[in-house]
Amino acid sequence: MASHAAILARGPWPAGAVDARWSDDRFEPPPEKDAAADAAIAALHERGSPSHDGVAARLAGYDERDGCLRLDLQPMRWALRLVAHDASHSLAALCVTRRADGAWLAGRRAAWLSTWPGRWALGAGGAVDLGESPAHTLTRELEEEWALTPARTTVEALIRLPHEMVMLVGQAWLAEGAEDTLAMDAEHDTFAWWPPDPADWPPEGDGPLLRMAALLTSTEGPNL
């Protein structure tokens, strides 16, 4: 198990240069992982979360060539991402969102959510649906969570988190005035536009968020 986050592949790539190849073979975890996922879902229900299980994506492999990023995906149980210390390479997509003037969209995640409840996050994010291209997940999540459609989107990096979840990170830029259509969903309880320079962010813009901003503003990316 990794002890720190790591950049597996570094873009940027146009969204159309990210290719997803789905396997028909569903990932089958060992019985103890299934049991841990069952326990995690039960704990969510006990605290009143409406989270439910389902099928999502697992990263089985990837490669970069000819200016493209190719992802090999397979179906897996969604709740496996909740297993402590080992999310079995479940894949999530994070769409960091910027206003035309460079400001960053930040939202505080609702307390009932299954992952990172009560924490601030950049933009929109979520699981990759069965059969979906992760590049499409980026803009889908932005529309679902904030009712925003970007003027342009790039895929920036593929990152492995310490608990063995994999995240495809994209960056979306809004057209001038597009933020006026923003509508916050129930997965957030408040939001803010943070200044273009992360050095000017409020205290809730903590270490992980600052490192993400550094990744997106560096040509090579920082050590995570």
Q: Quick check: is 211 in a domain? A: no
- Render pLDDT for 61-105 as a digit per residue (tens, 0 to 9): 999 999 999 999 999 999 999 998 999 999 999 999 999 999 999
SS3 content of the chain, % helix, strand, coil (to 5): 25, 35, 40
Domain limits at 43? 6-99+123-183
Q: Quick check: is 84 in a domain? A: yes
- Closest among 100, 102, 108 to 194, alpha carbons compared: 102
Q: Quick check: is 218 in a domain? A: no
Residue whose token pair is 């009712």: 147
- Render pLDDT for 9-62 as a digit per residue (tens, 0 to 9): 999 999 999 999 999 999 999 999 999 999 999 988 887 777 678 999 999 999
Q: Quick check: is 24 in a domain? A: yes
- Looking at the structure of the chain, the number of domains it has is 1
Predicted local confidence at residue 114, as pLDDT: 78
Question: Does 1 have pLDDT greater than 50?
Answer: no
CATH of the domain at 61: 3.90.79
Question: Does 223 have pLDDT greater than 60?
Answer: no
Q: Quick check: is 28 in a domain? A: yes
**What is the β-pairing status of strands 104-109 and 152-160?**
unpaired
Angle (CA) 140 213 20, round 5°: 40
Q: Quick check: is 136 in a domain? A: yes
Q: Quick check: is 105 in a domain? A: no
Residue 198: how many CA atoms within 13 Å on its side-chain side? 18
Helix (H, G, I), strand (E, B) or coil at 142: helix
- Render pLDDT for 198-213 as a digit per residue (tens, 0 to 9): 999 999 998 899 999 9
Q: Quick check: is 203 in a domain? A: no
- Render pLDDT for 116-162 as a digit per residue (tens, 0 to 9): 889 999 999 999 999 999 999 999 999 999 999 999 999 999 999 99
Q: Which residues contact 181 (CB under 8 A, 6 or more apart)?
A: 147, 148
Helical ranges in the chain per DSSP H: 31-46, 134-146, 207-217
